[in-house]
Amino acid sequence: SAMAEGEALVSVDYEVFGKVQGVFFRKYTQGEAKRLGLVGWVQNTSHGTVQGQIQGPTARVQELQEWLRKIGSPQSRISRAEFSNEKKIEALEHKDFQILK
């Protein structure tokens, strides 16, 4: 899909804190990312959070950031979401949005 002019691609890492494991958080995140046409990954961490990376057009990435901050999966209880390493990229570094084990 051709990107609109001025639709810069960005990459951002995220970590979501709260009750986010055992509540299908990864599956819902993958679904939302695919709906928005984003690529990247999501995985559970050993300390009870969910982390990953998002890449895509800036506006869409911001939509998923907002979703990770406020919505999540139906049974999740998000206390906070942290974003880091935000940078512009020339091309997407992932083919799709994967759930990593």
| Residue ranges per structural domain of the chain | 9-91
Residue 100 has, within 13 A of its CA and on its CB side, a CA count of 13
The residue from 44, 60, 77, 85 that is catalytic is: 44
The residue from 26, 35, 69, 85 that is catalytic is: 26
Residue 2 has, within 13 A of its CA and on its CB side, a CA count of 2
Residue 42's DSSP bridge partners are 52, 99
pLDDT tens for 42-78 read 999 999 999 999 999 999 999 999 999 999 999 999 9
pLDDT higher than 50, residue 1: no
Residue 68 per-residue DSSP state: H
Q: CA 60, 79, 82, 49 torsion: positive or negative?
A: negative
pLDDT tens for 3-43 read 555 579 999 999 999 999 999 999 999 999 999 999 999 99
Cα–Cα dist 71/65, whole Å:
10
Tell me, yes or no, if 85 is annotated catalytic. Answer: no
CATH assignment of 9-91, given 1.10.3720.10, 3.40.50.720, 3.30.420.40, 3.30.70.100? 3.30.70.100
Tell me, yes or no, if 35 is annotated catalytic. Answer: no
Predicted confidence band of residue 79 (pLDDT cuts 50, 70, 90): very high
Q: Tell me what pLDDT residue 7 has.
A: 76
